[in-house]
């Protein structure tokens, strides 16, 4: 199972009283369309756990980074066929232009081959790039570093 905490999306949980809880989540990308689904999941689970009053807040600062994905989260992503991200690049100061495709060491989550190639920096969701394994020929997603 991949949890919101493992993804680094769950930022804070504050139990205010016996039946009142405040939860902070942060979007991976500004336009992440899954935020409402995540909120509804949290509300349902927490109400099921006995919290009558559940507040889910969006936290924008600091901005989400893939470095917050836990080792357990990375293992769960790989087990689901999604290559986990490497270290996030620094985003302080001016961001240098890169005209060549981003060089990453991505192993195929299906056959573990290092022989993979980038298909596109944009994948099935905003947070993923599309890759292809040149050994087993399977396409797969890679969570791109931000």
Task: Tell me whether residue 112 or residue 122 sits nearer to another protein (CB atom).
Answer: 122
Q: Give 133's strand partners.
A: 116
Task: Quote the CA–CA distance of 60 and 20 in Å, as a whole number.
Answer: 23
Report if residue 20 touches another protein, rule: CB under 8 A.
no
How many beta carbons lie within 10 A of that of residue 70, not counting itself? 14
Q: Select from 2-10, 68-76, 109-117, 125-133 the region that touches another protein (CB under 8 A).
A: 125-133
Q: How far is the CB of 99 from another protein (least distance, A)?
A: 5
Of the candidate residues 50, 71, 87, 99, the single one contacting another protein (CB under 8 A): 99
Candidates 4, 5, 24, 132; binder of another protein (CB under 8 A) is: 24
3-state secondary structure of 145: coil
Beta bridge partners of 116: 133
Instruction: Mark out the alpha helices in 68-124 (DSSP H runs).
Output: 71-79
Residues, the chain? 146
State how far the alpha carbon of 94 is from the alpha carbons of 21, 97, 132, in Å. 40, 9, 31
Residue 37, interface with another protein (CB under 8 A)?
yes
Rule CB under 8 A: say whether 78 interacts with another protein.
no
Q: Which two tokens stand for residue 144?
A: 């791109």
Single out the residue of 2, 4, 5, 59 in contact with another protein (rule: CB under 8 A): 59
Residue 5 backbone dihedrals phi, psi, to 5 degrees: -65, -40
Contact with another protein (CB under 8 A) among 15, 67, 121, 135: 121
Q: What residues make contact with another protein under the rule CB under 8 A?
A: 24, 26-27, 29-33, 35-37, 39-41, 43-44, 47-48, 53-55, 57-64, 91, 93-95, 97-101, 119-126, 130, 144, 146
């Amino acid at each position: 199972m991949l949890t919101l905490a493992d993804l680094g999306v769950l930022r804070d949980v504050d139990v205010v009283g016996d039946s009142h809880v405040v939860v902070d989540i942060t979007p991976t990308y500004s336009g992440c369309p899954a935020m409402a689904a995540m909120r509804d999941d949290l509300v349902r689970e927490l109400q099921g756990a006995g919290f009558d009053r559940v507040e889910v807040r969006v936290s924008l600062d600091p901005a989400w980074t893939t470095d917050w994905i836990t080792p357990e989260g990375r293992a769960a992503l790989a087990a689901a066929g999604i290559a986990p991200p490497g270290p996030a690049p620094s985003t302080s100061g001016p961001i240098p232009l890169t005209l060549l495709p981003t060089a990453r060491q991505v192993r195929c989550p299906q056959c573990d081959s290092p022989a993979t190639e980038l298909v596109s920096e944009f994948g099935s969701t905003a947070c993923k790039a599309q890759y292809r394994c040149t050994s087993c020929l399977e396409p797969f997603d890679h969570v791109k570093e931000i």
